A = this chain, B = another copy of it.
Amino acid sequence: MPTDTTSPGAVPGSRALAHPAREEIRLAGVLHALADPMRLRVVCRLAAAEGELNCADIELPVSKSTCTHHFRVLREHGVIEQFYRGTAKMNRLRTADLETLFPGLIDGVLRAADLQACRLGEE
């Protein structure tokens, strides 16, 4: 059932990554993926960047392997899309899919995250 696509932007010949198809994305899964401060931060950065971002560009205060883990959770629950470009792994929010399935949800979460960051002395 997992549908993988060699995403547009991926260099041909790169290994493919499994992504859930749009109709396989579940609300509970998305909420679970967002319910972790580390992952929430990733999503905020991606949203702010409005495009694709290298894994390494989003510095997290955890080890490389934990980092890989969080990105995988986000991908497997349909929140982000990942593909390889050379040695780098690029990440992009699945804005269109999420907006179609759950209109306004991600925006709401991002706004809430911003508000909370302000309330608690930034960061």
Contacts and interface: CB of A to CB of B under 8 A. Distances in A.
A105 interface: yes
Interface stretch (A10-18, A50-58, A59-67, A110-118): A110-118
A47 interface: no
A49 interface: no
A105 B102 contact: no
Contact of A102 (B26, B36, B102, B112): B112
Nearest to A100: B115
A102 B105 CA distance: 12
A48 interface: no
A34 to B, nearest CB: 5
Interface of A: 23, 26-29, 31-32, 34-37, 40, 101-105, 107-109, 111-113, 115-116, 119
